[in-house]
Structure 1
Amino acid sequence: MEKRFYALLLVFLSTTLFAQEIIKDTVKPIQIPKSKQKIDGIVATVGDYLVLDSDIDKSFLELTSTRNSIDGITRCQMIGKLLEERLYAHQAVQDSIVVSDAEINGTLEEKLSVMIEQIGSMDKLVKFFKKNSEEELRSTFFDVLKMSRLASEMQKKIVEKVEITPEEVRNYFKSIPKADLPVFGDEVEVAQIVIKPKISDEEKQKVIDKLKELKRDVINGSSFFSKAVLYSQDPGSKSNGGYYKMNRKTPFVKEFKDVAFSLNEGEISEPFETEFGYHIILVEKIRGQEVDLRHILLIPKVSDEALKEAKDEITEIRKRILAGDITFGDAARASSDEKETKNNGGQLVNPRTLDTRFDLTKMDPSLYSQVSNLKQGEISVPFLDTDQTQKKMYKIITVTNRIPSHTADYAQDFLKIKDLALKEKQFKAIAKWTNEKIKETFIKINGEYRDCLFESNWLKK
């Protein structure tokens, strides 16, 4: 029974965010004996937010669930992390940072659905978490999710204007003792050619007709949320009822944004096409330059014949490259169906670092399986792949460069060093902000936790 409770709790905790990584040397390790039994009371107050003794236990549980070691992490250190999170959330409210209730409710519904599936019913879930009603359970979970999201948005606001100059990067690198320079692992640069199967007009019309049918159902009283959960093929929003919050700077494709910002509140679009498939959008709320919306994505089916034609085409391209009739880069520019890479000769960009290098130890497993055994300049055989929306396509991949493991070099690894320098500057900005806000915020720490030696002046001594 206890294991089942932990499994359910982790489903919920998986959405909460640690505002900071726990740094083990931030406080003097003062262990509170585990054998001491406590009543779940208030151990700290930050502005309008409380820290309960059980919150500390749940945070340890969350770390364990993500396979992080908790060795050497004390309850003092953990409460320091929770105090930070609540300070961020409190200040977010003071700074009028808006977190949409619709967005929180979408996340809440997703988590509740998973937990109900595990335990069997809402009534059992209410009983499990020792609440008096479904309403109380939802309210409790909603508050926790909202606090976590507010904390996250506040932290983003603190660091969003932190920038770093080349001179600061150079000084940061020079400040690192030679013996302490980071070592970067084996890396590769990769290019690919993508051939997407052609979709028939008949299949396109089928999804357009289906979207029109779903729109009529919603106009006649059906729930857009439920329709999105049942039918949408967008894995990023399906479980949230198709929900997105966006503004004009949000990195959505142009066609999607154009439709979203052309609608009034409560209006549903006609079916329209993007590179991902066909959509309808419902605008729920307009707040200045931001909109809360829901959408349904349907992807036309690809026939077996179209798949075969795509495979034959990419096989022929590979033969021409191997025969020396055309280079890989020129073939990508001439024939690849992936617009993000074709103009750069098929060269992939690492989404984590925004450069062309991929650390083999951190590479996406599906990409790693394709390139790990390829020699530089070797071309893979054609293989079937899918994108994030499960669209099928054929690819060939080549390794354009292999960079062996090496100690950091300023010229060769400038972008990585810049990222490290920026993170250090952001960390200092957060620490400065934290110390300033502690002075002007009501903070009270109770009982034995007043014996903790925090790096930040939580006790205002």
Structure 2
Amino acid sequence: MVWKKKNKILIAVLLAFIIAAGVFLTYTLKKENAVASINGETITKDELYDKLVNQYGSDTVDQIIEDKIVASEAAKKNITISNSTVTTEINKLKEQYGGEDAFKQALVDNNTTLTALKNDVKNYLLIKKLIEPEITVTEDEMKTYFDQNKDSFATAEQVKASHILVADEKTAKEIKQKLDNGEDFATLAKKYSTDSSTKENGGELGYFAKGTMVTEFDNVAFSLPVGKISDPVKTTYGYHIIKVEDKKPAQAANYEASKTQIKETLIDQKVDSEYQTWIDSKKKNYDIVNTLSKDA
């Protein structure tokens, strides 16, 4: 699992969902049908089901049991997670991955779907709300974390820019002339840009630090004044016309400005480390039977 979420609970839940879905689908299909063959010898869905149950059944059922306990404990305390809260977390993941396209590819790479991910994020947020009241984060802990991770709280110089990418210099010059004549940058990006990931947003790239883009692009974007539009810039991708919309200066790490982020990070770490103790204590209050358990 490669999600940039600093929490192995969420990772475990995601993997469990995928495994559980596989077991469930296999069980509900007609077992007599073959799923494969080798030299004419069939491999049946019955064999596949048995293999999945033997390998993953016990752990998957344990995960489902834990999910139901979480849901029950949340209901007791009237804890809910709104769809808008889940959407906010999903948008954070998209930003961490560098945009919609990279995020969608991550879903494919991890053999999951947006719907499944939303369910897993919601479940994790329930866990966090249940455990967080039992967690204390001290000022000393936050200062220690800041000192140990100071570089990550410094901000490099950033540029906010848009671009129009085309394949040849002739087209690029024609578009630049249209811009010089007063035509709208976003409209031309939607019409001409070959960058499918940005064209529908008018070529917007958002903020990026130096070194994020290829050298030729970077050099122009960071030297161009705010509000200005470049002449065509050649890179390995084609010809870019760059519009600089804003700039943010570099900032040194600042503890006071970073306290909220640090506290949230430490809470996530403590939720992660204390989850197993918490869920084990809650299991004692439930009548649980797992016939697939290794101890059964």
| Range into which the TM-score falls when normalised by the shorter chain | 0.3 to 0.5
Structure 2 length-normalised TM: 0.38
TM-score normalized with structure 1 length: 0.26
